[in-house]
Amino acid sequence: MDSGRLIFDSASSSSSRGPLLLWGGGNPVLGAVSPVVVGVAEKGGASKRRPFFTSPDEVYEEYYEEQLPEKKRRLTSEQVHLLERSFKEENKLEPERKSELAQMLGLQPRQVAVWFQNRRARWKNKQLERDFDQLKSSYDALLFDHDALLKDNHRLRSQLSTLAEKLEEANEQGASGVTVLTVDDQAASTADLTVLNIQQKKVEDMLSPGSGGSAVVEADGGHHLVESSRESYLPENYHCVELVDVVGIHSEDDMSDEGCSYYPDGMFTEHHQQEEVEAQLDWCIWN
């Protein structure tokens, strides 16, 4: 476990942990270990440049000459390159591979293990950065969509207000046989707006000369119902209700589709009874 632990505290260092020499094999001085000093790698520029690794003899020569133990040095580019290649193959380090790499690189197995640990930590940080960037991109995209939806919502609400005013005006004009109801809160949704548009269209059709019998009517509880001879006016999942019996607008039952009642979700009643229609009014159309 302790293989590779540094054994010398720097004479000049204030660090409590500041061991500055790496040990390798036997040490003639200390008996058990010998320091392998790592020298300046490819960078440097310091006046005391030396090869990355120095033999113990040279180390002690210099050490005793200068009374200053070496400080930790960076690995050479060749060592890093080989370590990187090995890391790419497998980011975990088996004991055999550790020894092998250490021998190949002239490093202590402990150094190789430490390098892999640090490399994994760096990789993890990079991965976190990548994940963060990805999440941020997703967030930005969602934010953009959200803003667009908000604007759309605002636009539709404005449209809704305009339509409500028009409906109110149409109400006041008192179209014969038809009552146009006011807008309630339920009409705030986009789907409601769609129906409202349909209603507007129908009102316009109805008020125009030669309109063909479609009507917007007021049902109890402020619900809005569309009486239509053409289901195609309605959006998907919305169906036409014949309201003749309910509001007293009669149409000829010619046994065509116009005489049928259509309800959401596939509910279908042909030639309905008035009670039946009234019972369905609450959830029809605006549900």
Partner DNA sequence: TCGGTCAACCGGCGAA
Partner DNA sequence: TTCGCCGGTTGACCGA
Residues making contact with DNA (CB under 7 A): 1, 4-6, 10, 13-20, 22, 38, 40-41, 43-46, 70-75, 80, 92-93, 95, 110-111, 113-122, 124
Q: How are beta strands 35-38 and 22-23 bridged, if at all? A: antiparallel
Dihedral angle of Cα 207, 211, 213, 216, to the nearest 10 degrees: -30
Residue 71 C-beta-side C-alpha neighbours within 13 Å: 9
Which residue's CB is nearer to DNA, number 18 or number 259?
18
CB of 30 to DNA, least distance (A): 15
Geometric angle at alpha carbon 201, from 198 and 203, rounded to 5°: 110
Distance between CA atoms of residues 100 and 94, nearest Å: 10
Please, what is the minimum distance in Å from the beta carbon of residue 116 to DNA?
Answer: 7
Q: Which residue, 124 or 155, is less far from DNA as judged by CB?
A: 124
Q: Enter the tokens of residue 133.
A: 């960037």
Smallest separation, CB 57 to DNA (Å) = 20
Query: To which H or E segment does residue 61 belong?
Result: helix 56-66
Closer of 114 and 255 to DNA (Cβ): 114
The Cα–Cα gap between 213 and 227 comes to 9
Q: Which is nearer to DNA, 19 or 264 (CB)?
A: 19
Query: Minimum distance from CB of 35 to DNA (Å)?
Result: 11
Q: Are the CB atoms for 200 and 166 separated by under 8 Å?
A: yes
Contact 225, 219 (CB under 8 A): yes
> Of 41 and 207, which has the nearer Cβ to DNA?
41
In the bound state with DNA, the residue whose beta carbon lies nearer, of 72 and 157, is 72
In the complex, the smallest distance separating the C-beta of residue 68 from DNA, rounded to whole angstroms, is 10
